[in-house]
Structure 1
Amino acid sequence: MTTTQTGATTAISTTAISTTASPTSAGPAMESATRATASTGTDEQAADPAPPALTGERADLLANLARRRAFLRFTVQNLDDEQASRRTTVSELTLAGLVKHVAVVEQRWLNFVLVGAAAFDGDMTAREEEFRDGFRLLPGETLAGMLDRFDEVARRTERIVAEVADLDDAHPLPVAPWFEPGASWSVRQVLLHLIAETAHHCGHADILRESLDGARTMG
C-alpha cells in the first residue's frame, strides 16, 4: 500500500488498493446459494466442487464491484467502534453505518436475483426507525462484525453470479415509487446498480473519514 502524506491528510493511491476476495473465484452451486439465510447473508457449508474461474463480462462486473467494496473497506481501516459510529458532518451518516447499509443492500439485491420481488417483502413499507437502524450500529454490533458480514455477503454474491444461468435472467421489480411501473431487472442490471450504489457510498465515506481525522481514500 503506497500513501502520500501532507500534514494531517493522507492520500491513498487508488492503484494500491486490493480486494479481499477474488471476483474470479467460483463457489458452491446455485442450490447452495439458495439456502442462504436472508438475516445474515451467509450460506450453509457445501462440499460442491468449484466451477472454473470466471472470465468475460461476469469477471469484469464482479471485479468492478469488488474494487468499490475495497475502497469502502479501506476507508474504515484502523478505526474503533466509537470513531466508526461518530457523526463527523451535519449528516447522520457514520462510517460503520455505511458498511452495514452497503452489506444489507447487496444481500437483498442478490436475494432478488434468486427469488425476485419477494426478496423485498416488507421493506417497501418499513417504518422510518427500521430504515435508520440499517445505517447505524445497534447494541451488540461492532465495526469488526459488520466487516465480517460485508465480506460474507461479497463471497455469496460471487458464488451466485458464478452459477446463475444467464446475466439476462430477469425478475419484475417490486412496486415502489422509485421504480418504473412494470419494469424488470436482469442480473446484469442488479450488478450495475450495486456498483453504482457502493461507489456512491464510498464518496460519503471518504468525506466522513476526512472529517474525522484527515485521512482520505480517494484524494
Structure 2
Amino acid sequence: MNSALSNNFGEEELRRRWNETENATVLAEVRSALVEGGDWRALVRRWTAPWGTGNDLGGIPLAGLNLTRADLVDAYLSYADLRGCVMTGCDLTDAVLSGADARETDLSGATLVRTAGGLADFTSANLTSSIADDSILVRARFVGATLRGASLRRASLAASDFTNADLTGANLEDSVLVSARMEGAVTDGANMKGARLGALRP
C-alpha cells in the first residue's frame, strides 16, 4: 500500500510517512519545490497515485525553511512542522493547519483567509498584517504571538489562547472569542466591534 495517503491518518502516521526511507526522495523534492516556487502539487499527485490528491502535505517536516510567498492555497498541512519557517506573504487561503506546529514562524503579511487551524500552535509567531478573515482557529495557541494590524474578521477563535499576545491595531470585528484567554494581551487600537466574548455556557 502506498504510504502517502490519507487525510484520515492520525498525527503520528502523517508525520512518520515522511520519515520513511522509501519517501526520502519525494520529501526532498517537495521541500525544494516549496522553497523555489516549483510545482509541489504535481509531485504530491504522482506520489499519491492512483488517488491523485495534489494538496496532501499533512505532517510534513518543514521547520526552518524559507517559504516566502509560497503558494499554499488549499494545502492540507495538518500536524505539519512549520517551526521557525519564514512564510512572509504566503497564500494559505482555504488551507488546513489543524494541529500544525507554527511556533516562532514568520507569517507576516500572509493570507490565511478561511484557513482551518484548530489546535494549531502559533506561540511566539509573527502574524503582523496577516489576513485571516473567516478562518477557524478554535483552541489555537497564540501565546506571545505578534498580531499587530492583523485582520481576523469573522474568525472563529473560541477557546484560543492569546496570553501575552500583541493585538495592537488588529481587526477582530464579528469574531468569536468565547472562552478565549486574553491575560496580558495588548489590544490597543484593536477593532472589537461585534466580537463575541465571555465564557461558554456549561
Q: What is the TM-score normalised by the length of structure 2?
A: 0.20
Which structure dedicates a bigger proportion of its chain to helix? 1
Larger radius of gyration: 1
Q: Which has the higher contact order (CA 8 A, sep 6+)?
A: 1
Q: What is the TM-score normalised by the length of structure 1?
A: 0.19
